[in-house]
Structure 1
Amino acid sequence: MFKGLLFSKALAVGIGVVTASAVCSMVAMVVIYQIEMSNDPPRRPPTPPATTPFPSGPPPNLRLPDTLVPQMYKLYLQPHFHVQVTNITNQTFAFTGNSTVIFKCVKNTNRIFLHSKDLNVTEYRVSDGRNTELRGKLSLTMGSSNFMEIELDGVLKAGETYTLFTAFEGELKDDMTGFYKSKYTVDGEDRFLATTQMQPTDARRVFPCFDEPAMKAVFNVTIIHRDGTTALSNSNRKGHIEITIDGETWLVTEFNPTHKMSTYLLAFTVSEFKRIPALGNSQIRTWARPEAISAGQADYAQKTAESILPAFEELYDIKYPLSKLEQIAIPDFSAGGMENWGLISYREGALLYEEGVSSTANMEWIARVISHELAHQWFGNLVTMKWWNDLWLNEGFATYISYIGIDSVHPEWKISDRFVLYETQPALQVDSLATSRPLSPRAEDVQTPANITQQFDQITYSKGASILRMLSIYLKDTVFQKGIKTYLKAYQYSNTEAADFWRHLQEALGPADINVAQVMKTWTQQMGYPLITINTKTGDVSQQHFLLNQTSTRNFVWYVPVLMLKSGSNEPDYKFDPVTEKGPVRRPEYRTEEDQWLLANVYYTGYYRVNYDQGNWEKLLKQLNMNPQEIPVINRGQLIDDAFNLARAHHVNTTLALNTTKFLYNETELIPWEFGLRNLKYFILMFDRSEVYGPMKAYMRKQVTPLYTHFKNYTDNSTVPEDHAEQYNQINAISVACANELPECQNMASAFFKGWMDDPEKNAIQSNLKSAIYCSAIAVGGEKEWDFAWEAYINATIASEKDKLRYGMSCSRNIWILNRYLTYTLDPSKIRKMDFVSTVNYIAANVAGQSLAWEFVQSHWTYIIQEYGGGIMPLGNLIDGVTERFSSELELKQLKQFQKDHGPDSFGSATQALEQAIERTGANIKWVKENKQTVLDWFQREPADK
Structure 2
Amino acid sequence: MEQLHKYKQFKGQPRLPKFAVPKRYDIKLKPDLITCKFTGTVDISVDIVANTKFIVLNAAELAVDRNSVRFNTRNGSKVFEVLEVELFEEDEILVAEFPESLPIGLGVLSIALEGILNDKMKGFYKSTYEHKGEKKNMAVTQFEPADARRCFPCWDEPACKATFKITLEVPSELVALSNMPVIEEKVDGNLKTVYFQESPIMSTYLVAVAVGLFDYVENHTSDGVKVRVYCQVGKANQGKFALDVAVKTLDLYKECFCNISCDAFYNYLKSCRYFAVPYSLPKLDMIAIPDFAAGAMENYGLVTYRETALLYDDKHSAAVNKQWVAIVVAHELAHQWFGNLVTMDWWTHLWLNEGFATWVSYLATDNLFPEWKIWTQFLDESTAGLHLDGLAESHPIEVGINHASEIDEIFDAISYTKGAAVIRMLQSYLGPECFQRALASYIKKYACSNAKTEDLWAVLEEESGEPVNKLMNSWTKQKGYPVVSVKVKDQKLVFEQSQFLLSGSHGDGQWIVPITLCCGSYDARQNFLLQSKSETLDVKDFLGCSIFKGSIMETGKGGKNNENSECSWIKLNVDQTGFYRVKYDMDLTGRLRYAIESKCLSATDRFGILDDSFALSMACQQSLASLLTLMGAYREELDYTVLYNLISISSKVARIAADAVPELLADIKRIFIGLFQYSVEKLGWDPKQGESHLDAMLRGELLTALAEFGHDVTQNEAIRRFHAFLDDRNTPLLPPDLRKAAYGAVMKNVCRSNKSGFESLLRVYRETDLSQEKTRILSSLASCPDPDIILEVLNFLLSSEVRSQDAVFGLAVSWEGHETAWQWLKDNWDHISKTWGSGFLIARFISATVSPFSSYKKANEVEEFFASRTKPSIARTLKQSIEKVHINAKWVQSIQNEKLLPEVVKELAYRK
Q: TM-score, normalised by structure 2?
A: 0.91
Matched, 1:878 2:852: no
For residues 192 and 894 of structure 1, do their structure 2 counterparts lie closer, same or farther at Cα, with a shift above 3 Å needed? same
Matched, 1:174 2:145: no
Task: Check whether the contact 2:286–2:302 (CA below 8 A) recurs between aligned residues.
Answer: yes
Match for residue 72 of structure 1? 24
Task: Check whether the contact 2:37–2:116 (CA below 8 A) recurs between aligned residues.
Answer: yes
1:553 positional shift: 4.4
Counterpart of 2:606 (choices 608, 619, 636) is 636
1:422-461 maps to which residues of 2 (within 5 A)?
422=381, 424-441=382-399, 445-461=400-416
Counterpart of 2:324 (choices 365, 380, 383) is 365
For residues 838 and 804 of structure 1, do their structure 2 counterparts lie closer, same or farther at Cα, with a shift above 3 Å needed? closer
Alignment deviations for residues 446-500 of structure 1 (CA, whole Å, 9 cap, x no partner): 0212211111111000000000000011101111111111111111110000111
Q: Distance in 2 between matches of 1:61 and 1:460?
A: 24
Q: Distance in 1 between matches of 2:244 and 2:729?
A: 32
1:750 positional shift: 0.9
Q: Could you say what secondary structure the match of 2:9 adopts? A: coil
1:340-419 maps to which residues of 2 (within 5 A)?
340-419=299-378
Letter in 1 for 2:803: R
Task: Check whether the contact 1:214–1:385 (CA below 8 A) recurs between aligned residues.
Answer: yes
1:821 positional shift: 1.8
Q: Could you say what secondary structure the match of 1:531 adopts? A: strand
Match for residue 662 of structure 1? 632
Match for residue 307 of structure 1? 248
1:134 positional shift: 1.6
Q: Distance in 2 between matches of 1:809 and 1:189?
A: 28
Match for residue 738 of structure 2? 769
Q: Distance in 2 between matches of 1:668 and 1:482?
A: 38
Letter in 2 for 1:212: E
Alignment deviations for residues 494-526 of structure 1 (CA, whole Å, 9 cap, x no partner): 0000111111112221xx3x2111111000001
Match for residue 736 of structure 1? 705
Task: Check whether the contact 2:746–2:758 (CA below 8 A) recurs between aligned residues.
Answer: no
Match for residue 258 of structure 2? none
Match for residue 195 of structure 2? 254
1:221-232 maps to which residues of 2 (within 5 A)?
221-232=166-177
Aligned-pair identity (%): 29
1:278 positional shift: 4.5
Task: Check whether the contact 1:333–1:346 (CA below 8 A) recurs between aligned residues.
Answer: yes
Matched, 1:897 2:864: yes
Q: Distance in 2 between matches of 1:540 and 1:945?
A: 36
Task: Check whether the contact 1:140–1:146 (CA below 8 A) recurs between aligned residues.
Answer: no
For residues 649 and 368 of structure 1, do their structure 2 counterparts lie closer, same or farther at Cα, with a shift above 3 Å needed? same
Letter in 1 for 2:806: D
Q: Distance in 1 between matches of 2:769 and 2:161?
A: 40
Match for residue 574 of structure 1? 526
Counterpart of 2:488 (choices 536, 540, 543) is 536
Letter in 2 for 1:910: I
Alignment deviations for residues 709-743 of structure 1 (CA, whole Å, 9 cap, x no partner): 1212xx1x344662232223222221121112222
Matched, 1:283 2:236: no
Matched, 1:912 2:876: yes
Counterpart of 2:238 (choices 293, 297, 315) is 297
Q: Could you say what secondary structure the match of 1:599 adopts? A: strand
Matched, 1:930 2:894: yes
Letter in 2 for 1:531: V
1:167 positional shift: 0.7
Q: Could you say what secondary structure the match of 1:440 adopts? A: coil
Match for residue 888 of structure 1? 855
Counterpart of 2:445 (choices 487, 490, 493) is 490
Q: Could you say what secondary structure the match of 2:635 adopts? A: helix
Task: Check whether the contact 2:45–2:106 (CA below 8 A) recurs between aligned residues.
Answer: yes
Q: Distance in 2 between matches of 1:703 and 1:408?
A: 33
1:938 positional shift: 3.0
For residues 683 and 95 of structure 1, do their structure 2 counterparts lie closer, same or farther at Cα, with a shift above 3 Å needed? same
For residues 661 and 808 of structure 1, do their structure 2 counterparts lie closer, same or farther at Cα, with a shift above 3 Å needed? same
Task: Check whether the contact 1:686–1:886 (CA below 8 A) recurs between aligned residues.
Answer: no
For residues 587 and 544 of structure 1, do their structure 2 counterparts lie closer, same or farther at Cα, with a shift above 3 Å needed? farther
Q: Could you say what secondary structure the match of 2:407 adopts? A: helix
Counterpart of 1:783 (choices 746, 755, 758) is 755
Letter in 2 for 1:124: V
1:145-224 maps to which residues of 2 (within 5 A)?
145-158=91-104, 160-224=105-169
Match for residue 44 of structure 1? none
Worse-matched range after superposition: 193-202 or 875-884:
875-884
Q: Distance in 1 between matches of 2:689 and 2:651?
A: 27
Q: Distance in 2 between matches of 1:110 and 1:832?
A: 46
Matched, 1:522 2:522: no
Q: Could you say what secondary structure the match of 2:195 adopts? A: strand
For residues 610 and 945 of structure 1, do their structure 2 counterparts lie closer, same or farther at Cα, with a shift above 3 Å needed? closer
Runs of at least 5 residues in structure 2 that lack an aligned partner in the other structure: 256-273, 550-554, 556-567
Match for residue 39 of structure 1? none
Counterpart of 2:178 (choices 233, 244, 253) is 233
For residues 763 and 865 of structure 1, do their structure 2 counterparts lie closer, same or farther at Cα, with a shift above 3 Å needed? farther
Matched, 1:118 2:61: yes
1:322-341 maps to which residues of 2 (within 5 A)?
322-341=281-300
Matched, 1:107 2:78: no
Counterpart of 2:656 (choices 662, 675, 686) is 686
Letter in 2 for 1:460: S
Letter in 2 for 1:304: V
Worse-matched range after superposition: 759-768 or 875-884:
759-768
Alignment deviations for residues 531-590 of structure 1 (CA, whole Å, 9 cap, x no partner): 111122232112111111143342x221111111111x3425231x31001124444337
Q: TM-score, normalised by structure 1?
A: 0.88
For residues 933 and 55 of structure 1, do their structure 2 counterparts lie closer, same or farther at Cα, with a shift above 3 Å needed? closer
1:141 positional shift: 4.8
Task: Check whether the contact 1:540–1:587 (CA below 8 A) recurs between aligned residues.
Answer: no
Q: Could you say what secondary structure the match of 1:539 adopts? A: strand
1:754 positional shift: 1.1
Task: Check whether the contact 2:397–2:476 (CA below 8 A) recurs between aligned residues.
Answer: yes
Task: Check whether the contact 2:289–2:307 (CA below 8 A) recurs between aligned residues.
Answer: yes
Matched, 1:605 2:577: yes
Letter in 1 for 2:843: G
Q: Distance in 2 between matches of 1:383 and 1:515?
A: 23
Task: Check whether the contact 1:273–1:288 (CA below 8 A) recurs between aligned residues.
Answer: yes
Letter in 1 for 2:205: Y
Q: Distance in 2 between matches of 1:721 and 1:815?
A: 43
Task: Check whether the contact 1:124–1:165 (CA below 8 A) recurs between aligned residues.
Answer: yes
Task: Check whether the contact 1:428–1:463 (CA below 8 A) recurs between aligned residues.
Answer: yes
Q: For this pair of structures, how many residues does the alignment match?
A: 856
Q: Distance in 2 between matches of 1:144 and 1:447?
A: 14
Letter in 1 for 2:682: H
Task: Check whether the contact 2:519–2:570 (CA below 8 A) recurs between aligned residues.
Answer: yes
Q: RMSD of the alignment, in Å?
A: 2.0
Letter in 2 for 1:434: A
Letter in 2 for 1:235: M
Matched, 1:134 2:87: no
Q: Distance in 1 between matches of 2:728 and 2:887?
A: 50
1:613-762 maps to which residues of 2 (within 5 A)?
613-625=585-597, 627=598, 629-689=599-659, 690-712=662-684, 715=685, 717-719=686-688, 722-759=691-728, 762=731
Q: Could you say what secondary structure the match of 1:334 adopts? A: coil
Task: Check whether the contact 2:843–2:877 (CA below 8 A) recurs between aligned residues.
Answer: yes
